[in-house]
Amino acid sequence: MNYDAMRGKASVHGMTVHADFRKHYRALLPDFAPMNEPTLNYVLCPGPAALPVSPGLSPAPTQRHRMAYWEWNATGDPGCPHVVVCVHGLSRQGRDFDTLARALSSHARVICPDVVGRGQSDWLVDSTGYQIPQYVADMLVLLEHLHHRHPISTLDWVGTSMGGLIGIAIAGQPGLPLPVPVRRLVLNDVGPVIQWEALQRIGQYLGQPTRFESVQQAADAMWAISTSFGPHTPTQWLALSRAMVRSLPEGGLTLHYDPSVALPFRTLTKESAMEGEAALWQLYDHIAARTLLLRGAQSDLLSRETAQLMAERGPRARVVEFDGVGHAPTLVVGEQVAAVTEFLLAVEGAFAG
């Protein structure tokens, strides 16, 4: 396996991000922020859950399912009014954002949900619920819950792949009952046009039965289908892999998510995918949030042409591209974390263009 350390450079509209960018980042967040750990919380969302797969977890109330979320907060204020929601990709979970969350947690409450069917969240009885409308509905419940606990005055969103599509739907519908509008939106290697070849690639492994004897074995197997994430050190990749598995009753480990998340995905056709593009562009064009688009330079899911269009219409996203990375940047490498934190923590009016 090639776990070489990340040495690719980032570019903004094709321009290299030089040392002064990283110097500014280090001054803003020395050593990525104090070390801390998240708390695991749950919120009840409409829609019946399957029986729990986690040992010791009681069934959810009738017609409800639990969505788990990880909350990071090193601000010293449990009611910090600045909230950053970070939502993962199709087969991932909320602990993907540990590195980014630590970097942001001295400045905001960072909320990293496990989308239903993943991680510590319940699975659904009806697999047709594993689609964007259900995920958006769950996020609205989560935001209302967070706002009720501690009022939100500033709301930002970071979404990787599927999490970015959820973010487009959240930020692109002005009539949604949000506590406050999304102020800044980070879309990580995703846009209204998703390349069909990438969907076919993902479909080859999504929901396939798996069994591992150890976390390291699981990490090795996941790396074999995840080299597009770009170079990582062994320590980085193992950290990303730990939360990706759960224990089996008979022993051993398997992937954390409900295999049924693949069922709606497999019904997708090239024609239906193209039909969805118009709706996604309409949502994108209604986004009022200042938007940052991250792209892996070798991404097979988000084309450079789509990224350019996203820079020219709707919220006119600022585009940052990372060399040596495909779909999708994992936001654990310094340059990637710096791009997001600088964007989210910059004072209003600090952006050019």
Structural domains in the chain plus CATH codes: 10-345 (3.40.50.1820)
- The 10s digit of each residue's pLDDT in 104-132 is 999 999 999 999 999 999 999 999 999 99
Contact partners, residue 16, CB within 8 Å, separation at least 6: 9, 10
Asked if pLDDT for residue 5 goes beyond 70, the answer is: no
- The 10s digit of each residue's pLDDT in 312-351 is 999 999 999 999 999 999 999 999 999 999 999 998 776 6
Average pLDDT for 153-182: 97
What's the pLDDT score for residue 351? Answer: 61
Asked if pLDDT for residue 303 goes beyond 70, the answer is: yes
Average pLDDT for 169-178: 96
Asked if pLDDT for residue 308 goes beyond 60, the answer is: yes
SS (H, E, C) 69-104: EEEECCCCCCCCCEEEEEECCCCCCHHHHHHHHHHH
Asked if pLDDT for residue 2 goes beyond 50, the answer is: no
Average pLDDT for 57-75: 94
Asked if pLDDT for residue 85 goes beyond 70, the answer is: yes
Average pLDDT for 58-68: 94
Asked if pLDDT for residue 22 goes beyond 50, the answer is: no
Asked if pLDDT for residue 276 goes beyond 50, the answer is: yes
What's the pLDDT score for residue 87? Answer: 98
What's the pLDDT score for residue 34? Answer: 43
CA–CA distances in Å: residue 309 to residues 112, 160, 303, 305, 318:
29, 19, 10, 6, 11
Angle at 306 between CA 111 and CA 22, to 5 degrees: 55
How far apart are the C-alpha atoms of 171 and 183, rounded to whole Å? 9
Asked if pLDDT for residue 48 goes beyond 90, the answer is: yes
> Mean pLDDT across the chain, nearest whole number?
89
What's the pLDDT score for residue 345? Answer: 97
Asked if pLDDT for residue 184 goes beyond 50, the answer is: yes
pLDDT classification of 352: cutoffs 50, 70, 90: low
- The 10s digit of each residue's pLDDT in 26-41 is 333 333 334 489 999 9
How far apart are the C-alpha atoms of 58 and 51, rounded to whole Å? 8
What's the pLDDT score for residue 30? Answer: 36
Average pLDDT for 221-229: 93
Average pLDDT for 89-93: 97
Label residues 296-312 b or e (16+ Cβ within 10 Å = b). Answer: bbebbbbbeebbebbbe
What's the pLDDT score for residue 17? Answer: 34
- pTM across the whole model: 0.88
111, 85 Cβ separation under 8 angstroms: yes
What's the pLDDT score for residue 273? Answer: 84
CA–CA distances in Å: residue 267 to residues 111, 130, 196:
31, 12, 13
Asked if pLDDT for residue 270 goes beyond 70, the answer is: yes
pLDDT-above-70 percentage for the chain: 89
Average pLDDT for 201-225: 93
What's the pLDDT score for residue 193? Answer: 95
Average pLDDT for 40-49: 96
96, 188 Cβ separation under 8 angstroms: no
How far apart are the C-alpha atoms of 343 and 213, rounded to whole Å? 41
What's the pLDDT score for residue 33? Answer: 39
How far apart are the C-alpha atoms of 285 and 309, rounded to whole Å? 11
How far apart are the C-alpha atoms of 92 and 123, rounded to whole Å? 14
